[in-house]
């Protein structure tokens, strides 16, 4: 039983009720009382407040038996909207979700340059546009979370973005001053990991999400929380050395994992082998179906080096679930069995390795989910994935 002052207990009970309604989608008052172990009187009082605040709505459901139709409670999805932003190397992707985590709008703006002042102006203008567009809802924009492809400190200062050559940039404070809204910055791989846990792996305590796009990043969920390291820079697993004395990396080392097992590394090799070809995922898939020898060799090396890195991180973290976010793996036949066949260590332990079904949307979905969790103040967020 939770003990403490009345306001604290009320806050904890509220969080518990919202958590269960979000998880199940719809619950009756009796069901809420049952799954939370709270008294019906406590549930009734809390639900009354949530209805007044328009965070919860009531619905009658079809009922074929004799008696009163059950009244179900659900989150009022349209009470407010979250903004998730992915600050990529060549574009900014925007996503707006309702309070149930469903995307209602997506936008992308190509970047003409990487000058900080220009990108700050672009972000400010676009967010203000969304503020106006969703102002009619009860709570309007309930949170803004931006995915950073680089190092973000624990106090949310951008330490370094390699693709922009940004160092110690105060994007959070600059945006908050311009908008009058709270803004949160988070590493992109962390947000992908959060999306995987929130939308799919509800019962997973320890999850690793490895993103294999322009580089390699790793988001780590341990006991439902991010593992960040001392300064917030944990997860830069792409700079683990897998080939001593290998290819030089921008980080200053040689032989880093992302030089051999990121999608960028594969695409660079394919362009070198086929300089006149239009390198797209659809074309790569056709080459694999045709068993093109150059493509076959490059993809086999990709799987080989990917497996080396996965073996290392599995031995270090002993995760329940490892999620791999890669379009190349999604189109490569039997990629998971091939990877698992290379993980032969008797000391490696994990429950499962899966390829992400969300894909690159995981980043903005995770950003929206963080905003929803912060707004509703629920300790653990579980949402249905609606595609």
CATH number of the domain bearing residue 188 = 3.30.420.40
Do 70 and 107 belong together in one domain? no
Do 39 and 127 belong together in one domain? no
Sheet holding 27-28, edge to edge: 27-28, 71-75, 56-60
Question: Can you give the residue range of the structural domain that contains 209?
Answer: 203-356
69 in any annotated domain: yes
Per-residue pLDDT at 66 = 57
182 in any annotated domain: yes
Sign of CA dihedral 181, 185, 186, 191: positive
pLDDT per position in the chain (387 positions), as tens?
A: 455 578 888 899 999 999 999 999 899 999 999 999 999 999 999 999 999 999 999 987 766 665 566 789 999 999 999 999 999 989 999 999 999 999 999 999 999 999 999 999 999 999 999 999 999 999 999 999 999 998 999 899 999 988 898 999 999 999 999 999 999 999 999 999 999 999 999 888 889 999 998 889 999 998 888 888 888 778 889 999 999 999 999 888 999 999 999 999 999 999 999 999 999 999 999 999 999 999 999 999 999 999 999 999 999 998 999 999 999 999 998 999 999 999 887 777 888 999 998 988 999 999 999 999 999 999 899 998 887
The total number of structural domains in the chain stands at: 3
53 in any annotated domain: yes
The residue among 59, 75, 91 that closes a domain is 75
Q: What CATH number does residue 11 fall under?
A: 1.10.10.10
Do 207 and 351 belong together in one domain? yes
Per-residue pLDDT at 1 = 43
Per-residue pLDDT at 86 = 96
* Cα separation, 343 vs 350, whole angstroms: 11
3-state secondary structure of 94: strand
382 in any annotated domain: no
* Cα separation, 265 vs 44, whole angstroms: 57
Do 257 and 176 belong together in one domain? no
Q: Do residues 320 and 197 make contact, with C-beta atoms less than 8 angstroms apart? A: no
Per-residue pLDDT at 331 = 94
126 in any annotated domain: yes
Per-residue pLDDT at 8 = 87
383 in any annotated domain: no
* Cα separation, 156 vs 242, whole angstroms: 30
Backbone angles phi, psi at 251, to 5 degrees: -70, -15
What lies within 8 Å, CB to CB, of 37 at 6+ separation is none
The residue among 33, 54, 75 that closes a domain is 75
Q: Vertex 254, ends 248 and 259: CA angle to 5°?
A: 65
Do 123 and 257 belong together in one domain? no
Do 271 and 309 belong together in one domain? yes
Do 207 and 314 belong together in one domain? yes
Do 237 and 339 belong together in one domain? yes
Do 348 and 208 belong together in one domain? yes
Do 115 and 172 belong together in one domain? yes
Q: Do residues 228 and 234 make contact, with C-beta atoms less than 8 angstroms apart? A: yes
Do 69 and 122 belong together in one domain? no
Task: Note the pTM of the prediction, 2 decimals.
Answer: 0.90
* Cα separation, 340 vs 310, whole angstroms: 10
Cα 365 versus chain centre, distance? 6
Cα 251 versus chain centre, distance? 25
Sheet holding 225-226, edge to edge: 225-226, 217-222, 206-211, 321-325, 352-355
Do 211 and 347 belong together in one domain? yes
The residue among 75, 110, 131 that closes a domain is 75
Per-residue pLDDT at 3 = 52
198 in any annotated domain: no
Q: How many CB atoms lie within 10 A of CB 231?
A: 12
319 in any annotated domain: yes
């Amino acid at each position: 039983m939770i003990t403490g002052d009345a306001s604290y207990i009320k806050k904890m009970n509220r969080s518990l009720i919202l958590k269960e309604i979000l998880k199940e989608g719809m619950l009756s008052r009796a069901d809420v009382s049952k799954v939370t172990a709270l008294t019906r009187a406590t549930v009734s009082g809390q639900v009354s407040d949530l209805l007044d605040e328009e965070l919860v709505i009531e619905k009658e459901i079809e009922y074929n038996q004799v008696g009163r139709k059950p009244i179900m409670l659900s989150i009022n999805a349209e009470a407010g909207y979250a903004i998730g932003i992915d600050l990529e190397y060549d574009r900014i992707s925007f996503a707006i979700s309702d309070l149930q985590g469903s995307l209602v709008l997506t936008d992308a703006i190509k970047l003409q340059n990487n000058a900080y002042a220009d990108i700050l102006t672009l972000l400010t203008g676009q967010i203000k546009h969304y503020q106006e567009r969703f102002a009619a809802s009860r709570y309007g924009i309930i949170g803004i979370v931006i995915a950073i492809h680089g190092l973000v400190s624990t106090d949310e200062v951008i330490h370094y973005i390699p693709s922009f050559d940004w160092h110690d940039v105060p994007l959070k404070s600059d945006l908050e001053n311009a908008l009058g809204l709270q803004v949160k910055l988070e590493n992109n791989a962390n947000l992908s990991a959060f999306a995987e846990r929130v939308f799919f792996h509800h019962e997973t305590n320890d999850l690793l999400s490895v993103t294999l796009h322009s580089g390699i990043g790793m988001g780590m969920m341990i006991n439902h929380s991010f593992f960040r390291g001392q300064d917030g820079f944990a997860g830069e697993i792409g700079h683990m050395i897998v080939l001593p004395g290998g290819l030089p990396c921008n980080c200053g080392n040689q032989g880093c994992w992302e030089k051999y097992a990121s999608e960028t590394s594969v695409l660079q090799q394919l362009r070198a082998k086929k300089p006149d070809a239009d390198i797209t995922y659809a074309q790569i898939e056709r080459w694999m179906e045709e068993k093109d020898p150059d493509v076959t060799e490059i993809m086999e090396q990709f799987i080989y080096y990917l497996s080396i890195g996965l073996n290392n991180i599995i031995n270090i973290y002993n995760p329940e679930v490892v999620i791999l976010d890669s379009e190349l793996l999604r189109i490569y036949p039997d990629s998971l069995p091939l990877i698992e066949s290379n993980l032969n260590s008797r000391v490696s332990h994990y429950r499962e390795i899966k390829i992400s079904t969300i894909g690159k949307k995981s980043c903005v979905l995770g950003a929206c989910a963080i905003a929803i969790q912060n707004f509703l103040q629920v300790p653990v967020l579980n949402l249905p994935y609606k595609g």
